[in-house]
Structure formats: structure tokens, C-alpha cells
């Protein structure tokens, strides 16, 4: 059985089909994990969701910021933005089935590969969190998403504060920090303060900040963390990191990585994508 990780789709179903054809993906043999942002900005979000549903237990997805935004809009917590391409989902006859499937996906996933930890998230992990901490906190958020008060959760989800984690955080503030770390973070300070305005390449961080994965003493440094979200960072493969968002919706590539027992055995497979979303 092969395990494939795929970067941000953002409603690009046709490139996904070509990528799956290229890797000869077989639902009866292989397992697929999309590292978040299945929907929005691209032309075929509903098709992506239906495809993923159709693979059953052979495919899982993490929830990215665009996926949570779709759920927030659907629950009346926020209006769709001008650039959003969510109407095909929100107006579909199978809307409820797609949204229910989406909110039962994961905030973090974990596998043991070659005797080591593979931790999968959409955006990042705060420096003081261990692998176990990340999975536990992701579970708190998943429980809120799957619970009866999910609409109330979405009304308090949006916002940048608090910008740092404290174990004493509770309620909406606690969940908001977890959301922002797992689905929005690119840069943070050595003290773990998150910064949300900068979206450029890792080589040009804002003053006082650095890529979250370069913070000294990061407690997940002993694991391999796979993530998407950062299209200007692009493909990155290190023993402790796999970055998979290669900008499909912006006219880049859609990337899959076949996970091997060692970093040297990873295999990158890419297909080129037409630009589905114009910058600006």
C-alpha cells in the first residue's frame, strides 16, 4: 500500500484527476491524504468534495483555512468574500452531505513511518507543542466542529488574537489559537507569537519573526511534519519537513509525495496547472 500526500487543491479537480492518473492511484490499494484547503478560489470545489467522499476510507483530508471558511459561511458566521468560489457547494442539492463530510475531517493526522513520527497539519505547529500536544489540541477542535454547537463555534473562530499559546487559555480564545496555528500560521517569533500578514517566501520574514519550522527548540523537531498552505515556499523536503503547496490555483503545479520509509525514499510527482485564480 502506498501513502500519498497531496498539497492544496483549492477547487482544482481537473489537475487532481491528472495527478491521480499519473500516480495510478488505486482506492483498493493506496491511501491518500490531502493536507487541507480542498476548496475555494478554484473552479470546481463541489467536484473535489464529491470525489473525496467517493473514495471512502481510502482518502482523508485535513481542514485548511479555506475549508473552515466554507463551513463558517455555511453556518452564517461570515459572508462569502468577493474572490470566494463557494457558491457551487452552498447551492448544491447535496450541500448538506458535502458539508457534513467536510466537518468530520481532521485537524491533524499522525502515522509512524520507518520507526519515526509523521505529523500532518495544514499550516504549522507552534514551537512549544509536542506531537502528542498537537494531536490532543487538534482533537479538541475536531470535537467542537462535530458537536451540536458548531454554529456558535464559527461565530467566534475568526480573529488574530490571542497571538500566542498559553496552557491556561479556555473557551473561544483557546480554540482560536489552535485554529490559527494549524490552518493559518507561516511565521512566528522565537517566543511563539504568530504573525499573519506576511505571505512571502521564507527567505524574507518580517522583522522579529521566522518560519515556524525554524524556531530554535521547536518540540516537533524530532518528527517529520508535513504541511501545505504556503505556496510561495513551495516544495521543500528535509528529514524533519515536507512542504507540499506548490501553487496549483495560481498556475503552478499540483504535487503529491509518495511517502517512503526514509526521506531519501520520498518520491515527488507533479502535474502542471492552469491558473484558476488571478492575483490581486
Is residue 280 included in any domain, yes or no?
A: no
Q: Which residues of the chain have pLDDT under 70?
A: 278-280
Is residue 225 included in any domain, yes or no?
A: yes
pLDDT (0 to 100) of residue 140: 98
Is residue 128 included in any domain, yes or no?
A: yes
Is residue 182 included in any domain, yes or no?
A: yes
pLDDT (0 to 100) of residue 162: 98
- In terms of residue numbers, what domain contains 233? 3-272
Look up the CATH number of the domain holding residue 203: 3.60.21.10
Name the residue among 6, 8, 10, 179 with its Cα closest to residue 89: 10
In what side-by-side order are the strands of the sheet with 253-258?
59-61, 31-34, 3-6, 253-258, 267-272
Is 139 within 8 Å of 96 (Cβ atoms)? no
For the residues of 206-242, what is the DSSP string, one character each? PTT-EEGGGSTT-TTTTSEEEE---TTT--EEETTEE
Is residue 58 included in any domain, yes or no?
A: yes
Is residue 278 included in any domain, yes or no?
A: no
Is residue 277 included in any domain, yes or no?
A: no
Q: How far apart are alpha carbons 95 and 156 in whole angstroms?
A: 23
pLDDT (0 to 100) of residue 279: 53
Is residue 279 included in any domain, yes or no?
A: no
pLDDT (0 to 100) of residue 201: 78
Number of domains in the chain: 1
pLDDT digits (tens, 9 = 90+) for 133-146: 999 999 999 999 99
Amino acid at each position: 500500500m502506498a501513502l500519498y500526500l497531496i498539497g492544496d487543491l483549492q477547487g482544482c479537480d481537473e489537475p487532481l484527476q491528472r495527478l491521480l492518473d499519473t500516480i495510478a492511484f488505486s482506492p483498493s490499494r493506496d491511501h491518500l491524504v490531502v493536507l487541507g484547503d480542498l476548496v475555494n478560489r478554484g473552479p470546481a470545489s463541489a467536484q473535489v468534495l464529491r470525489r473525496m467522499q467517493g473514495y471512502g476510507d481510502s482518502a482523508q483530508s485535513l481542514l485548511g483555512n479555506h475549508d473552515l471558511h466554507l463551513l463558517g459561511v455555511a453556518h452564517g458566521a461570515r459572508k462569502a468574500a468577493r474572490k470566494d468560489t463557494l457558491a457551487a457547494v452552498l447551492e448544491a442539492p447535496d450541500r448538506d452531505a458535502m458539508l457534513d463530510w467536510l466537518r468530520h475531517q481532521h485537524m491533524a493526522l499522525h502515522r509512524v513511518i520507518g520507526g519515526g513520527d509523521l505529523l500532518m497539519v495544514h499550516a504549522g505547529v507552534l514551537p512549544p507543542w509536542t506531537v502528542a500536544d498537537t494531536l490532543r489540541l487538534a482533537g479538541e477542535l475536531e470535537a467542537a466542529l462535530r458537536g451540536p454547537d458548531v454554529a456558535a463555534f464559527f461565530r467566534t473562530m475568526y480573529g488574530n488574537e490571542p497571538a500566542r499559546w498559553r496552557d491556561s487559555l479556555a473557551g473561544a480564545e483557546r480554540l482560536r489559537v489552535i485554529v490559527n496555528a494549524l490552518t493559518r500560521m507561516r511565521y512566528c517569533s522565537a517566543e511563539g507569537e504568530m504573525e499573519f500578514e506576511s505571505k512571502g517566501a521564507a527567505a524574507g520574514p518580517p522583522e522579529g519573526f521566522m518560519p515556524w519550522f525554524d524556531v530554535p527548540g521547536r518540540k516537533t523537531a524530532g518528527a517529520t511534519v508535513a504541511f501545505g498552505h504556503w505556496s510561495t515556499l513551495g516544495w521543500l523536503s528535509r528529514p524533519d519537513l515536507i512542504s507540499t503547496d506548490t501553487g496549483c490555483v495560481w498556475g503552478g503545479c499540483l504535487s503529491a509525495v509518495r511517502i517512503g520509509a526514509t526521506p531519501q525514499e520520498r518520491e515527488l510527482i507533479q502535474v502542471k496547472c492552469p491558473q484558476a485564480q488571478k492575483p490581486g
